[in-house]
Structures are given as structure tokens and as C-alpha cells.
Amino acid sequence: MADKPLEVLITVPMPEDVLHQLRSLSPHMHIAFHSAQTIEEISDELWSKVEVLYTDILVPNPAKTPNLRWIQYHYAGIDYILNTPLAEKRDIRLTNMSGASAIQEGEFIMMSLLALGHRIPDLIQNRSKREWPEDRWEKFAPRELFGSTVGLVGYGSIAREVARMLQPFGCRILATKKDAMHPEDTGYVVEGHGDPQGNFFHLLYPIEALRTMLKECDFVVVTVPLTRETFKIFGEEEFRAMKPGAFLVHISRGGVVDEAAMASALQERRLGGAVVDVFSQEPLPPDHPLWKLPNLIITPHVSGFSPNYKERAGELFVVNMQRYLNGEPLLNLFDPDRSY
């Protein structure tokens, strides 16, 4: 590989220090930067040369990329490449950014758990009324994280970071994982974060035992990818399996949680409250009935936002590029058969 130029195309802005690290990996690397939101913005001549592509949303046509061998996507969720010719090209390796956003999403989830447990939605409503209610205890007594059971639906990089952050809170941590016999993390992990060895939960359930786990939980966090198997995996039966008054945080993908079932559970107060960052329809229309639920905190798909994300994503790309140059297995390989 070192005997010929390695043509790398980057279509999203990247910090200069990351570009410097990339160039230092090999003198034979030629990096072209071309900001683009559509395939057509890049010439056929350039597409024909590219061996490695770093992009956010572009899904190139394999017929026009004869030399393409690897695409590093800028985001963790890349389900939009499913059912495209690219997904069928098994000689083109696809990798995602799982792990790069775990820190900020972990903090978002921690904020949400504390906000729900300490009745922030009710307190905000009370402020708008300018009341100092006599029944403050009944209205605002918190559900502390200390001594509570937190259930993590999916045990990927984000849930592992949450489990790490929950350690000082004295929680009982339960989790579900598709392959519960292998609790270790084989993807990208920022040093000092996550749960690489699978040490931070008390019990790990197979995903088939989700309802069994839910019966134990005071707080539930949903972080699974959207696949054929996880579409509406959290529906009416799952909400009825939860403890009365339990709380939900959902930051995975729209379509994983049945929004109609969630709305019913919130309206009937079977669900004590929820923070939801992702929806089956985005942007969520202003006349959508979910906006009217007082015990639902709606955020506009922002849990992964961070001013540090490009640096963290770039660090993963540098690590994977070194592995690519060395002929080693890439981290975060996308498996079309699993859809993640």
C-alpha cells in the first residue's frame, strides 16, 4: 500500500491538528478536501481515484468508485445506507463513529435522569404559575438516583459511558445486550471512558428478556440502534411491564419507541415522565400531540451535540487510518446483516 499514493477524500470540515496527524502517518497519503452534501458535487474523475472516504451523509455509487475500499462515516448511526448498492458491496469496508459521541451523550442522559428524578418538568410548570404550593412534598419529592435501579436498553458505547458515570450514585445498574455472553466492548473507546471490559453493570440480560428487566427499573434509558429487529421494540407491552411511575430517557433513533404507546403511558401517568430526543418524524411538527404532554421533555435531536465532536471523531479516524495502513482490522465495522 505504501508503494502507491493513497487517495483520501474528506467531505466534512476537519480540525487542522487532525489533518496533521493523518498526513504524518504516511508520506504516500494524498488528502483531498471537498465539502459536499450531494454526490453530484464531486466530479466523476475524483470519485474514480478515491480509496478512502471520510464523509457524513454521502452514499457513493460503487459503479463510479472502482478504487474505493473504505468509508469512515462521521456519525454513529448510518442506517441510511441500508437498501443501497453500497451496502451490498462487501469489498468496501464501512465504519461508523460509535464511541466518539459517548461523552456528550452520556452527560445528556445523566442530566435527563436527574431532571426527571427531581421533578424539573413539574417545577418549571409551577414557576409559570408563580405558586409556592402548600403540598410541595407531594408534588416535588424526588426519586433519587441513589438506591434506584437504572435499566439500560442496549449496552453500546453510550450506555457504557452512562454506567461508568453512574458508579458514584449508588445505583443498581441493569442492561440488555444482543449478545449477553460477550459483555466486553470491541469498538472504539475514548481512554478513561466507557466500560471496555463490562464491569459496571450488576446484571446483563439478553434483549429477549427486556420486559423482565423493565419490571425492576425506576429509570430506563434506550440507546439501541434502529434495525429491523429494534423497530418499535419498546411498545405497549414494554410500557406496561415498567414500574408505575418509572421514568424513560430515549436518545436512540425515531422508530425504536412506539410513540403512541409512550403518549398513552404518559397521559395515564403509568410513566412518571420522559425525556425524548429522537422521533419518527423530524422535525417534530408544531401541532404534534406529544408537545402537549406536560410530563414529557422534548429536545430537538441534540443529545450528540458537542463543540469537541470533530476532534473526537478525528481521533477515531486517525486510529482507524493507522490500522488500515497496517492491514489491521478496523474499529466499528458496519455489518449490513445486523444493520449496525
The answer to whether the 6-100+308-326 and 102-298 domains have the same CATH topology is yes
All cell numbers assigned to 76: 454513529
The predicted-structure confidence for 32-63, as pLDDT tens digits, reads as follows 999 999 999 999 999 999 999 999 999 999 99
pLDDT at 1: 46
Q: What is the pLDDT of residue 77?
A: 85
The pLDDT assigned to 90 comes to 85
Which amino acid is it at 172? R
For the stretch 210-235, pLDDT in tens is 999 999 999 999 999 998 899 999 99
Domain boundaries, the chain: 6-100+308-326, 102-298
Q: Which residues of the chain have a pLDDT value below 70?
A: 1-3, 339
**248: which strand partners?**
220, 274
User: What fold, for 6-100+308-326?
Assistant: Rossmann fold (3.40.50)
What is the CATH number that goes with domain 102-298?
Answer: 3.40.50.720
What does pTM read for this prediction?
0.93
Distance CA 172, CA 209 (A): 17
Q: Can you tell me the distance from the alpha carbon of 241 to that of 211, in angstroms, rounded to the nearest whole number? A: 6
The reported pLDDT for the residue numbered 3 is 66
- Of the candidates 58, 15, 106, the one whose C-alpha atom is nearest the C-alpha of residue 317 is 15
The pair phi, psi for residue 43, each rounded to 5°, is -65, 155
